Chains A and B, each alone.
Chain A
Amino acid sequence: MNILDNWSVRIGGAALALLVLVAIAAPWLGTVDPTLFDAASRDLRPGEAGEITTLEGETVKHVFPMGSDSFGRDIYSRVLYGTRVSLVVGLTAALLALFFGVICGLSAGYIRWLDGLVMRVMDGIMAIPAILIAIAVVALWRASLPSVVIAIAIPEIPRVTRLVRSLVLSIREEPYVEAAVSLGTPTAKIMFGHILPNTMAPLLVQGTYICAFAILLEAILSFLGVGLPPDIPTWGNIMAEGRVQFVEYPHNVFFPGVFLAITVLAVNILGDGLRDTLDPKMAKRV
């Protein structure tokens, strides 16, 4: 079955493509620099017009489609630029978790004596709540994009490791792997040439779920004030700032919240669709 025949893949993929497009095209979508503010345009409601001061000190007229916050910043611009942060964090955290998870899982699954060691370390990481690890990592280093990505990826590594290890344990018993052994194929080549390619489908599916969770976790960290610094426009930061005024000015929280929900939903729907087409056995079980 062709992957694109699946409606979940189509819908999730299309929504995600649209978000990527928005992230790339943010500067040309009627936005201003998301860090600009103007004391005269504080707390505008969605659709109201006001003015904003550019970096050069000029004051220009600007319509605020999603209103402004208590500093007089344009929510619309901040949300659109925030898409960039969310997608980059989601994708890189997923890739990072997959990369280290695959390395650990392959070695635990194929090299028997490493199994106990690797898996006990993973159990240890799994025992600590993801958000605590993330807060600790961010606290250790200065809060920046790389440190937040690493903080989000670390708690996901054990899950990937477990998945890969269980896949490797069943694939290593396949006759084609035994055939490769008797053909004198070196161990590294068996691991990366025979076993790894056959774990790709479930890994891709797992990757999308990690991506969705990473986007969510980044927003949570920012919202709690332990994520990216407040001057970087992220959905979590925007919501954190709007929280105090939520009753009077709900748009501060509402718009980034909607974007976050749509993004996570799109990634999850895409993941479900991929699972159904790439891994039919798993789909039947769910």
Chain B
Amino acid sequence: MSTLEVKDLTVRLPKGGDRPEAVSGVSFSVEREEILCLVGESGSGKTVMAHSIMGLLPKTLELAGGEIRLEGEELTRASEARRRELRGARMAMIFQEPMSALNPVMTCGAQIDEVLRYHTHLSRNERRARAAGLMREVALPDPERLLDAYPHQLSGGQRQRVGIAIALALEPALLIADEPTTALDVTTQAQILQLIVALQRRHGMGVLFVTHDFGVVAEVAHRVAVLREGRLVELGGKAEVLMRPRHEYTRMLIGAVPKLEPHARPVAPDAPVVLSTKSLSKTYVERRWFGKKHEVPAARDVTLEVRKGQTLGLVGESGSGKSTVARCIARLIEPSAGEIRLAGVDLARLRPREMRPVRRRVQMVFQDPYRSLNPRRNVGEAIIEGPLNYGVPRAEALARARRLMELVRMDPAALGRYPHQFSGGQRQRICIARALAVEPELLVADEPVSALDVSVQAQVLRLLEEIRTRLDLAMLFITHDLRVAAQVCDQVAVMQAGRIVEYGPAEEVFLRPRHEYTRALFAAAPGRNFAFAPA
């Protein structure tokens, strides 16, 4: 008997959606002691699938047909009371966002205790002992102390461990993990993945692992199911699907995963230096009314150089200071010390009034395409805003906007439309066009593809590459993703805790990392030892 069997599952979307069904006629099973990875891009219906199994579908989505069997028991017709009993006891879920999955006003211990209290008849002390045991099992340090800690006192990885402990509390037969590592740093991700695999083996659970990341799939899966727009397009063993995909869509997805091999191209040694920083530092100072002021150094002694036509990758985990450096260079925040030389001018010393004429020369592309465009302005207005600020006549600015739309592979007729009418990838293209409209010398891209699906990510990376070659632009590319860095960077600077710990040509850094931290980053990159099917 399979742990989970899903047969012909169909979930209807409310009227007026982009398709009639969120999930259409999907069948698969999860066996005992097996990890099945459910892979798909955003909107493929993978989360809806997880929620319908748990019985957590929002009211607007209707289960229109099919069967869900948990250890042989039919769930779609079960009473709400029976389902509540099964949730937690026989099936449990871990969520993507470890901060919002835990209640911020309850201690971690109380949240584990809650599950035990409602589902078991253990006494108070037994429950506490069991909770501590669970904390030990998910390898949390000092369980007795952490039981009384609140979620905000824990790191992201620790919170996710608490989430896993809650899910494991009643030894469920099925564990559903919905993108459990997407919000985590790569080194933390590696640890959590290891933990899930180890626990799955120890408890003989079936795991339904929902993810968009083929690297993660390569690390944990036994079998893989690929979803596209609510339909199951491919289902098979890990090696089979990842190395010899049969369906065209799977081939495209796997082909779009950037390879970990560096693609650096040589830059002419006499190419002029566009940007150089010297001992750039940013310290956040928190002044209190009484007592000493509190200093947080976000970037320390950052010295780097970008030449014309070159891309420098700034790589690091969250909180490493890479975005702080980018924002100092674009002077969106004031640097505390050091120099930022852009073609000879020290930007760090310019006053806000003196900055305005210089701003044109450094342009940024941001991470979140949904927030980088003013929702109340049409695309044309967004693109010509910069040129108009620098005195370009309106007609000429519009003509330039049309040329730029062609450059970023969009229809110039779309200039009159509003941002909400475009997809994430299209918006990112518009943002690139907007940045290029003022003819910058340096393009600072802060995680420009992190919010995008892998196939769209590949297109945007290709576009950036093309633009850089065509316009001979200097680019500072910030990313947490080593695969993306390998794809686009000529030089790489690895940042940790505000400092650059390793800096050199991409080939050097990727093939012969010297610093311990760089090596740890590479070791943690999911799927690094896996030979994916060639594109």
Contacts and interface: CB of A to CB of B under 8 A. Distances in A.
Interface in A151-189: 174-176, 178-186
A42 interface: no
A57 interface: no
A45 interface: no
B332 A194 contact: no
A185 B434 CA distance: 13
A197 B368 CA distance: 20
A59 interface: no
Given A178-B332, A179-B431, A181-B332, A186 B372 contact: no
A281 to B, nearest CB: 14
Interface residues of B, number: 28
B368 A175 contact: yes
Nearest to A196: B376
Interface string B331-373: 1100000000000000000000000110110111011100111
A25 B386 CA distance: 51
A239 to B, nearest CB: 44
B364 A184 contact: no
Nearest to B383: A183
B489 to A, nearest CB: 22
A54 interface: no
Contact of B434 (A179, A181, A194): A179
A186 B389 CA distance: 8
Interface of B: 330-332, 356-357, 359-360, 362-364, 366-368, 371-377, 385-386, 389-390, 431, 434-435, 438
A181 B360 CA distance: 10
Contacts, number: 58
Interface residues of A, number: 15
A175 B371 contact: yes
A136 to B, nearest CB: 35
Tell me if A's interface is mostly helix, strand, loop or mixed: helix
Contacts of B377: 194
A179 B372 CA distance: 7
Given A175-B368, A178-B364, A183 B438 contact: yes
B225 to A, nearest CB: 33
A157 B435 CA distance: 39
B360 A184 contact: yes
B389 A179 contact: no
A200 B103 CA distance: 33
B451 to A, nearest CB: 11
Q: Which of A176, A179, A184 has the most CB of B within 10 A?
A: A179
Nearest to B356: A184
A114 B376 CA distance: 27
Interface of A: 174-176, 178-186, 194, 197-198
B80 to A, nearest CB: 23
B385 A183 contact: yes
Contacts of A181: 332, 359
Given A185-B386, A186-B356, 12 more contacts: A175-B366, A175-B372, A176-B373, A176-B374, A179-B434, A179-B435, A181-B332, A183-B385, A183-B386, A184-B438, A185-B385, A198-B375
A206 to B, nearest CB: 18
A178 B389 contact: no
B152 to A, nearest CB: 20
Nearest to A194: B374
A194 B363 CA distance: 18
